[in-house]
Structure 1
């Protein structure tokens, strides 16, 4: 934020609000926590889970700019929702994550195979379509 802060202050009017949104997997749901463990950070990274997102955002501060522009305290909220998925669609999505794309092919196929196997053996995900529990994390801060 050290680089972005002054530019945000320049374009955001006093009293204006900066907001960011992130989609996170809801690892408070037991089977999703298992998926996170099986997937490893290449498929579901640390910023993709609520606890890690909250910790990272708690440490975010927009600096006072050279012109003295200040920002209020960041506020956070999370909103639950679900994405309709199948095991194949979820594996296909996870296969596009940057960490997966840079893996050696053999390692990538093994990781995706482990995810497929996990999904095939969970009652929540083994039979066709299922809801993937998600949270949308929202961060907002007001320019003072």
Structure 2
């Protein structure tokens, strides 16, 4: 990755500060069975496992971890996103930091989970930091929500979201490489569906980094097309809510060195 590529990705990632409130309101969560698979076998004899939710955003994954009575620390580069998380989950410890510079002590967590954020990381630097903060034998779990584009209107929605995007769609590749400190990767997929109002597709689209960083006129043009899709597609017209199908793609590995 060139310096220009890194700069461009950093600008895209930073754009989420602008949409933190909408992100917290409309972005999907994660299915409980996927989280259970990621954390299978993680635990301690002395009390709740200490789990880092890395790039936690507004806490869509964090809420699942809290529901499992884990000791959770949420780290994100965006203060605005963490403010939304803290408002919804006030008992969770939050810290500002990045995957490449995690503000935690060596060997201080039993597991690190990353939700729909791995594609923003510098893999080599993040892998070193993950190995540093995890205890030996600790778990790395990565989950990403991919829209199920086998559904025609969902595919059309995705095409609008990525129109003119100069970054590869995350769903086109999902091949994490956390580094030599981790054992073999296990993989599992979990189909599920979120519920959304067709009129809410505009707000969901507006939380994407590509749209957040477009000039106003271009962004509005795409959002207007999303509104037309919601108003004209036969699977959406007249519906108060519809299922928006996803596949939660999961990877897990244990720290071995």
Normalization by structure 1: what TM-score?
0.78
Query: How far is 1:24 from its partner?
Result: 1.8
Give yes or no for the alignment of 1:72 onto 2:183.
yes
Residue equivalent to 2:213? 102
Residue equivalent to 1:116? 227
Higher relative contact order (Cα pairs below 8 Å, separated by 6+ residues): 1
Query: Does the CA contact (< 8 Å) of 2:161 and 2:208 recur in 1?
Result: no
Give yes or no for the alignment of 1:143 onto 2:143.
no
Residue 169 (structure 2) aligned to one of 38, 46, 63: 46
Query: Does the CA contact (< 8 Å) of 2:201 and 2:227 recur in 1?
Result: no
Q: How many residues were matched structurally?
A: 130
Residues 30-80 of structure 1, C-alpha deviation per residue, up to 9 Å, x if partnerless? 2211221233255xx711x3xx2xx332xx32223xxxxx32222222211
Query: Does the CA contact (< 8 Å) of 1:39 and 1:114 recur in 2?
Result: no
Query: Does the CA contact (< 8 Å) of 2:161 and 2:211 recur in 1?
Result: no
Structure 1 segments, 4+ long, off by >4 Å, are none
Residue 178 (structure 2) aligned to one of 58, 62, 71: 62
Name the Cα RMSD after superposition. Answer: 1.9
Sort the Cα spacing of 1:28 and 1:73 in 2 relative to 1 into closer, same or farther, 3 A: farther
Residue equivalent to 2:129? 7
Residue equivalent to 1:24? 146
Q: Which moved more, 1:105-114 or 1:26-35?
A: 26-35
Sort the Cα spacing of 1:140 and 1:62 in 2 relative to 1 into closer, same or farther, 3 A: same
Sort the Cα spacing of 1:40 and 1:123 in 2 relative to 1 into closer, same or farther, 3 A: same
| 5+ long unaligned stretches in structure 1 | 65-69
